[in-house]
Amino acid sequence: MNLLPEWMDPQRAHAFYADALFLIPLLPFLGFLINALTRKGISRGASGGVACLAAALSFLWTLLSFSASAGGLADHVRLPDGSLCLVRDPAHPLHAVYGTWIEVGAFHCSFGLYMDQLSGLLALVVTGVGLLIHIYSMGYMGHDKAYARYFAYLNLFLFAMLVLILSDNLVLTFVGWEGVGLCSYLLIGFWYEDAAKASAGMKAFIFNRVGDLGFLLGIFTLLAVFGTVDYVAPPRQLGTYRAPVIEPRLMKPTGQGGDVAQETLLMPENPGLLDYAKGLSLLAAPKATRPLRFSTPDGRIDLSRNLATRIFPDWFTLGTAMTLACVLLFVGACGKSAQLPLYAWLPDAMAGPTPVSALIHAATMVTAGVYMAARLHPLYLMSPEAMHVMACVGGLTAIFAALCALTQTDIKKVLAYSTVSQLGYMFLGAGVGAFAFAIFHVVTHAFFKALLFLCSGSVIHAMSGEQDMRKMGGLRKQLPLTFITMFIGALALAGFPFFAGWWSKDAILAQVLARAHESHESIYYLLYVLAVVGAFCTAFYSFRLIGMTFFGTCRASAEVKQHIHESPPTMTTPLLVLAFLSAAGGVLWANSLPTFLNFPEPTQNANHPQVHHVNLVVTLVAAFGGILLALFLYAKNQKVPQPAQSKNVLVALSWNKFGVEAFYDKVVTTTFIILAEMLYLVVDVLIIDTLFVNGLGFATRATSGALRRMQSGVVNLYAAGILLGALAVLFFLLRG
């Protein structure tokens, strides 16, 4: 993977690409500015062209930078004993710091970008899939009035997403994190004249904000423990060439084998969060009971002056603090990646244009939570409890959303619940330590779910905006290209062998089973069973969708039927590319991804052949069973479901999403409104204002009104008063 020209000195090329990383997010931002500032000034073709060009250039530059970061470089490192040793870095990251953003007290955070295998891979996916969806949008949004606004938002989204992925510290990641949330808000409510769509956008933003508070508090916790928000130490400056910061893992003299002993642990100056976590993981000392102010005797890891000891209770250990931080950050991930209980915004988010659903609410933004967990995986590995939480929430969400998807009749809603469910699988994988496979699933899911959404967009486009599958059917003849590509996407989603989704989902499920097998904890067996049932449901709803849409006879009205047409090439070309990736995109990395990403192998190693065989059989049975059953019911027998009227309790539960969304929409919202109104009327108006403030004024006036009576103008009374007063004075004088 080295696209550098031969004549280019690898070290200088490396420095160059590191310095130029900023171009990757900047290009879409420029596209945004052009489209936002000119508004109606440029033609429709130009505004779409500018946006696509920005995405394309950004993709190209990501590709070049990524290949530069993958080249192996050697560096001399001075070991503690004074000897020089040559350290080979198989892939070393591009890292550039452009300046300080916020600096208060000991807190420091900079504008820095960092591209390693993980962020590089995801940046490629974002810009690549993003580019395809930009192109698709030129066709799909062709008739929309607010063409320039749409592309401005889309480019702004790419910018924010790239900042999220490429940032070199948690706070800058948070900038992207909130930025994509903003774009999501704007794009869900893109057709703002529809009040329901505007509300859906608002709902998404508020649910995300709940998660964001968790994210913020997680940042504070990590900051209190480690005193830094940087992922890794800032790049060292050696002349013009920035030497790579060597990871502690690599700190062994060449030629020596065995475990890295404490003596050879080399921490960079100003270590970042991941440096600390990796350094700590190399130490031999017992991990569970490390105190909050842990430090190694030689002071290479020094947490002795951290704030956490002052603000957290005495019983907090380093492990507890990590659990707290990781769980809080995971709350943020639950918001962004639509996990239970914060998932409810994502189905509503389908109010946005379909390409937006593909890009933001399936392929990229919603996977930001998984990216965050993978980015910080050394920290998560320090806290088994946080991993438990992640696995359980992920597993539950996977089955929950898969069950919800079974009865949906809106083609986009099926895919929305499917996305929630697939995100659950990713977190389940991350929770059992298979971070690399979680990222693998992020990538394959980006291919096939973007494909499915774009295909559904093509269908909706052909059906003049109709989204209800009960009014479709038999479309495979009129929309052959859409049918074939969507069929491929459904196969990938269902886990049909050798399609992209199969590789990654199978790998995750195998890891869950292996984990259960090794730990003998029943909860993991349960999670495995749930995940397999979920996989069956996935296969079922995927082909229910295919069956209802493409098979049988068309149930649309005559008028709609007349207009059914295959989409223009701008829309079908991206479908073909994504279909290819969905079919073949998994083979490439099937087994090499953990090594490629430089991630640790999950503890439960793949050395359980029987686990893999069992899992293979089970998942194949689930996938084929689901596919065949769905095709039998919906393609062969043409069943048209009416879930809203169904007497079946299970159907009703699935159709009503087990009451979760109604709970949010009715109970939470109503309580909030009533509470606000009550507080206002009772506390502010009645108690503070009427009772105290105006009461005080009234009391003053009443008192003065009473006292005023004394000034009655009757001289006799005044004389009596004077006499009484004089007597009183006399009395006191005599007494004294």
User: Phi and psi (nearest 5°) for 230?
Assistant: -70, 145
d(CA 115, CA 541): 38
Closer residue to another protein (CB): 48 or 214: 214
Q: Which is nearer to another protein, 193 or 259 (CB)?
A: 193
Q: What is the DSSP letter of 312?
A: S
Using a 10 angstrom Cβ sphere, with 0-12 exposed, 13-18 middle and 19 or more buried, the burial of residue 656 is middle
105 φ, ψ (degrees, to nearest 5): 55, -130
60 or 146, CB closer to another protein?
146
Q: Which residues contact 437 (CB under 8 A, 6 or more apart)?
A: 429, 504, 507, 508, 511, 593, 594
Please say which residue, 186 or 428, places its beta carbon nearer to another protein.
186
Q: Minimum distance between the CB of residue 13 and another protein, rounded to whole angstroms?
A: 30
> From the CB of 328, what's the least distance to another protein, in Å?
10
CA 245 vs. chain centroid, Å, equals 28
Residue 692 CB, nearest distance to another protein (Å)? 8
- Closest Cα partner for 215 from 316, 113, 325, 118? 325
- Between 498 and 680, CB nearer to another protein: 680
DSSP string, 246-308: PPGGG-S-TT--SPPPGGG--PPSS--HHHHHHHHHH--S-STT-BTT-B-TTSSSB-TT-SH
Identity of the residue, 174 or 448, whose beta carbon is nearer to another protein in the bound complex: 174
| Nearer to another protein among residue 675 and residue 724 (C-beta) | 675
Residues in the chain: 736
Exposure on the CB side of residue 457, measured as CA atoms within 13 A = 29
- Phi-psi region for residue 340, left (φ > 0), alpha (ψ -120 to 50) or beta? beta
DSSP 316: -
CB 378 to another protein: min, Å:
23
User: What is the closest distance, in whole angstroms, from the C-beta atom of residue 330 to another protein in the complex?
Assistant: 16
CB of 685 vs another protein, minimal distance in Å: 9
Smallest distance, another protein to C-beta of residue 698, A: 13
Instruction: Please report which helix (H) or strand (E) contains residue 382, including its range.
Output: none
> Which residues would be at the binding site for another protein (CB under 8 A)?
100-107, 171, 174-175, 178-179, 182, 185, 189, 192-195, 198-199, 202, 205-206, 209-210, 212-213, 216-217, 220-221, 223-224, 307, 311-312, 672-673, 675-677, 679-680, 683-684, 688-689, 693, 697
Separation CA 111–CA 80 (nearest Å): 32
With respect to another protein, which residue has the nearer C-beta, 50 or 200?
A: 200
Could you tell me if 586 and 501 are in contact, meaning their C-beta atoms sit under 8 angstroms apart?
yes
- 650 or 673: whose CB is closer to another protein? 673
Q: Measured from the CB of residue 204, what is the shortest distance to another protein in angstroms?
A: 10
Cβ distance to another protein smaller for residue 159 or 524: 159
Q: Is the dihedral of CA 733, 734, 735, 736 positive or negative?
A: positive
Q: Which position has the token pair 């559904």?
A: 456
Cα-only R_g, the chain: 31
Q: How far is the CB of 101 from another protein (least distance, A)?
A: 7
Least distance from C-beta 345 to another protein, angstroms?
13
Residues 355, 174 contacting (CB under 8 angstroms) = no
- Note every long-range contact of 652-657, with CB atoms under 8 Å and residues 24 or more positions apart, other chains counting: 653/403, 654/403, 654/404, 654/406, 654/407, 655/407, 655/408, 657/347, 657/404
**Shortest Cβ distance from residue 334 to another protein (Å)?**
14
Closest CB to another protein among residues 261, 675: 675
